[in-house]
Structure 1
Amino acid sequence: MTPVSSHSPHGRSPLRTVQVLGGGNAASGAHVRSLAAGLVARGVRVTVCAPADADHTYGFTGTGADHVHVPRSSDPGSVAALRAACTDADLVHAHGLHASFRTVLALSGRRTPLVVTWHDRTHADGPRGHFLRVLERRVVKAATVVLGTTSALVDRARRTGARDARLAAVSLPGTRTPPGPEDPDRLRPKIRAELGATGRPLLIAVGSLERRRGYTTLLDAAHAWSRLDPVPLVVVAGEGQLRGELQRRIEDEELPVRLLGRRDDVSDLLAAADLALLPGRSEARSPFAQEALHARVPLVATGAGGIPELVGDAAELVPYGNARALADAVVRLLDDPDRRELLKERGTRQAATWPTEDETVAQVLSVYDELTRPRPLA
């Protein structure tokens, strides 16, 4: 591979980039940390502009990058803080719609190249939906390059008016706590016993307890699994505003579901699971889907967003919001060990096609080099 330059467009000092994150979700936060680490290792000066709690969560400064606290969009001082942080930048890279819009405002009147990455699409209806579409148009028309994590996002950016939209290489950073020294064959029954899944199938879902994650559909589907013998146990790792509502349903309807709250041992939970479930929508490059395939755990997911493009034929795909289809897919897989083994093998092959962290950084740096390279005089 041809080395990519990390020098400034003037050739006198290392390239200085600013990464802008609005707090973000787990996928974008982990991506920015991975990107910062790779860029710093290649001699690029990196400043990450994000709320202080994001640095505490993702450890941007631990990569060698600088961190500047920039309040969330609801704070009236956020644009001014961002404008100051971007003063000497050779290039600014914003992640997510709200962070990108504030960056467009902060760079108003400057000629600094702006790269925008869309990690996912924001869903909303009514007046808020109209407002978000206005933001999208403003962002894509101001951006020098828009990177989309799925083909659908790239197409959407082009339809919205982007002058240059490209498919982004986005890897799965190593964000989970790695397994300890304990033998995995011993760890699996230990975790299953702790969860109450000894002698019964264990199904796992991971993600914040939000409406778009499809947990209402998951609970609807759990009624069908309650009639199986033995009854599968569904565990959900995540926290959020729906916890009370979901817990009440679990108790009132006596569903075989446990809400585990936030967990830092998702890799271990996956290693103990028989199936992984992804019932939500608006998943572009779902970290959990990638982890499941890497861990050789058969996945049942909705065919929404970027999931079909991500997993190919390595998962059982069902319509979003269709509890019957979700329940039936799980029952079929639990009854068909050959199908589960086939999905494990397909998952391994599919995961091998995804970009590595090194390839992701190389692609992004090549875009930076293209946008900051001095143009010949006419």
Structure 2
Amino acid sequence: MRIGIVCPYSWDVPGGVQFHIRDLAEHLIRLGHHVSVLAPADDGTPLPPYVVSAGRAVPVPYNGSVARLNFGFLSAARVRRWLHDGTFDVIHIHEPASPSLGLLACWAAQGPIVATFHTSNPRSRAMIAAYPILQPALEKISARIAVSEYARRTLVEHLGGDAVVIPNGVDVDFFARAEPKAAWQTEGAGGASGGGAGRPAGGTLGFIGRIDEPRKGLPVLMRALPKILEARPGTRLLVAGRGDEEEAVASLPASMRRHVEFLGMVSDEDKARLLRSVDVYVAPNTGGESFGIILVEALSAGAPVLASDLDAFAQVLDQGEAGELFANEDADALADAAIRLLGDPRRREELRARGSAHVRRFDWSTVGADILAVYETVTDGAASVATDERTTGLLARWGLGRD
């Protein structure tokens, strides 16, 4: 099958949607399908052979964050050329409701279109206001996928219609096989917390995410840290992600800042090793999450997970059976749960076992098969996707400027 996948966000800026598209494309290629991904990318960005650049993206506030998107007449021309050259059997568009390549591809393509909705935002006035613009494109979609029940709810309430829920996928074995890194583990007994002879009680907590994006929740974790250190003075926190490290620890007493180690951006391999090394992975995100791919990665690596009780996180963690939950934005609740987990090796082992069994449902062997089944449903009896020359007229109708 010839499959074209449209990525809305800049390929050179890491994010959950980009990782999902990358892993899906590589899974499909391993199965023998021809896959091409169209994505924004800055000049000079190294791209995999299956990715086609649609040009530079610009930052746009979107869903409580800042997304780097690509839109306009020049982008529309690149979309049409990619569609024409690809002669795809099916187009898979991600986030078609955002002002991005996905919406342009919806306008331009003819033939089977599958759309995946990642966003969970129950109060999006912008999406409601944009519905008249989005409607002609959304009507061309043959099948809709939502990555969670909460993304599906956002779609139904704001845009109408419905979607099948297929979660984000993870290569579970990649994380499960990773070797822990001694420098990231708690000293003594291969990562089990608690001090050895004369060593203060402690443990290693992990956090992965953009440091300077408040909804990722690092400030909540920083507010919880003094209470954790008071109970377990040997605890340290490993933080991986981009952002202002000095600002991140500014709220901590100076004497406690040495307990926080910033690792910067890490490779996929080091992310897996980090998750294999920590005693507890903490996800203090405060909102705007439709799924929680980092939770699935942590479970795959065998890390006991402590997460805020967002609806999407609770669903991924099987309502607290595969990981522990604390009240969202409650630093005291986070601290109490972390102290309890760090002091209870038996509970951590129980969570590892439950998480490792639960996470198999998110492996690409399952998720990829479900997505392929959607492709096969919409392509039965359909011709190859062609370009729609009305795109330029639609862009002009909505008064869109050039890049």
Q: Please classify the TM superposition score into its range, dividing by the shorter chain length.
A: 0.7 to 0.9
Deviation of 1:56 after TM superposition, in Å, equals 5.1
Deviation of 1:367 after TM superposition, in Å, equals 1.3
Higher relative CO (Cα under 8 Å, sequence separation at least 6) belongs to 2
1:371 counterpart SS class? helix
Q: Name the structure 2 match of 1:67.
A: 52
Give the Cα–Cα distance (whole angstroms) in 2 for the partners of residues 245 and 270 of structure 1.
24
Q: Name the structure 2 match of 1:364.
A: 371
User: Quick check: 2:43–2:55 contact (8 Å CA) kept in 1?
Assistant: no
Instruction: Say which of 247, 250, 263 aligns to 1:248.
Output: 250
Deviation of 1:142 after TM superposition, in Å, equals 4.8
What does 1:79-90 align with in structure 2 at a 5 Å threshold? 79-87=76-84, 88-90=87-89
Give the Cα–Cα distance (whole angstroms) in 2 for the partners of residues 273 and 267 of structure 1.
11
Deviation of 1:355 after TM superposition, in Å, equals 3.4
Q: Name the structure 1 match of 2:391.
A: none
1:306 counterpart SS class? helix
Q: Name the structure 1 match of 2:9.
A: 22
Give the Cα–Cα distance (whole angstroms) in 2 for the partners of residues 17 and 55 of structure 1.
23
User: Quick check: 2:205–2:279 contact (8 Å CA) kept in 1?
Assistant: yes
Deviation of 1:95 after TM superposition, in Å, equals 1.7
Change (3 A) 1:292 1:54: farther
Deviation of 1:192 after TM superposition, in Å, equals 4.8
- Normalising by structure 2, report the TM-score: 0.74
Give the Cα–Cα distance (whole angstroms) in 1 for the partners of residues 176 and 359 of structure 2.
20
How many residues align? The count is 345
User: Quick check: 2:291–2:312 contact (8 Å CA) kept in 1?
Assistant: yes
Change (3 A) 1:366 1:271: closer
Q: Name the structure 2 match of 1:10.
A: none
What does 1:269-348 align with in structure 2 at a 5 Å threshold? 269-280=274-285, 281-312=287-318, 313-348=321-356
Give the superposed CA RMSD: 3.3
The sequence identity of aligned pairs, in percent, is: 23
Instruction: Say which of 169, 172, 182 aligns to 1:188.
Output: 182
Q: Name the structure 2 match of 1:220.
A: 223
Change (3 A) 1:259 1:349: same
Give the Cα–Cα distance (whole angstroms) in 1 for the partners of residues 43 and 309 of structure 2.
30
Q: Name the structure 2 match of 1:117.
A: 116
Q: Name the structure 1 match of 2:125.
A: 130
2:88 counterpart SS class? coil
Q: Name the structure 2 match of 1:211.
A: 214
Deviation of 1:258 after TM superposition, in Å, equals 2.6
Deviation of 1:275 after TM superposition, in Å, equals 1.0
User: Quick check: 1:97–1:135 contact (8 Å CA) kept in 2?
Assistant: no
User: Quick check: 2:4–2:38 contact (8 Å CA) kept in 1?
Assistant: no
Give the Cα–Cα distance (whole angstroms) in 2 for the partners of residues 267 and 303 of structure 1.
24
Deviation of 1:133 after TM superposition, in Å, equals 4.1
Instruction: Give deviations 1:137-169, integer Å, cap 9, x for gaps.
Output: 826555332211111212222233343411114
Change (3 A) 1:91 1:311: same
Instruction: Say which of 351, 355, 360 aligns to 2:362.
Output: 355
Deviation of 1:106 after TM superposition, in Å, equals 3.9
2:282 counterpart SS class? strand
Deviation of 1:207 after TM superposition, in Å, equals 0.9
Deviation of 1:220 after TM superposition, in Å, equals 0.7
User: Quick check: 1:18–1:93 contact (8 Å CA) kept in 2?
Assistant: yes
**Residue 84 of structure 1 aligns to which amino acid in structure 2?**
R
Q: Is residue 50 from structure 1 mapped to residue 39 from structure 2 by the alignment?
A: yes
Instruction: Say which of 36, 40, 49 aligns to 2:29.
Output: 40
Instruction: Give deviations 1:166-209, integer Å, cap 9, x for gaps.
Output: 111432137779746xxx5xx4367556xxx9853111111111
Change (3 A) 1:341 1:161: same
- Normalising by structure 1, report the TM-score: 0.79
Structure 2 residues not aligned, in runs of 5+: 58-68, 188-192, 383-403
Q: Is residue 146 from structure 1 mapped to residue 144 from structure 2 by the alignment?
A: yes
Change (3 A) 1:278 1:70: same
Deviates more, 1:206-215 or 1:98-107: 98-107
Structure 1 residues not aligned, in runs of 5+: 1-5, 7-14
Q: Name the structure 2 match of 1:12.
A: none
**Residue 88 of structure 2 aligns to which amino acid in structure 1?**
A
Instruction: Give deviations 1:284-329, integer Å, cap 9, x for gaps.
Output: 3323212222222211101114111111111110121111111111
Deviation of 1:346 after TM superposition, in Å, equals 1.5
User: Quick check: 1:20–1:100 contact (8 Å CA) kept in 2?
Assistant: no
User: Quick check: 1:270–1:292 contact (8 Å CA) kept in 2?
Assistant: yes
Change (3 A) 1:221 1:120: same
Give the Cα–Cα distance (whole angstroms) in 2 for the partners of residues 309 and 205 of structure 1.
20
Give the Cα–Cα distance (whole angstroms) in 2 for the partners of residues 21 and 204 of structure 1.
29
Give the Cα–Cα distance (whole angstroms) in 2 for the partners of residues 55 and 361 of structure 1.
31
1:232 counterpart SS class? strand
Q: Name the structure 2 match of 1:267.
A: 272
Q: Name the structure 1 match of 2:401.
A: none
Deviation of 1:371 after TM superposition, in Å, equals 1.3
2:107 counterpart SS class? coil
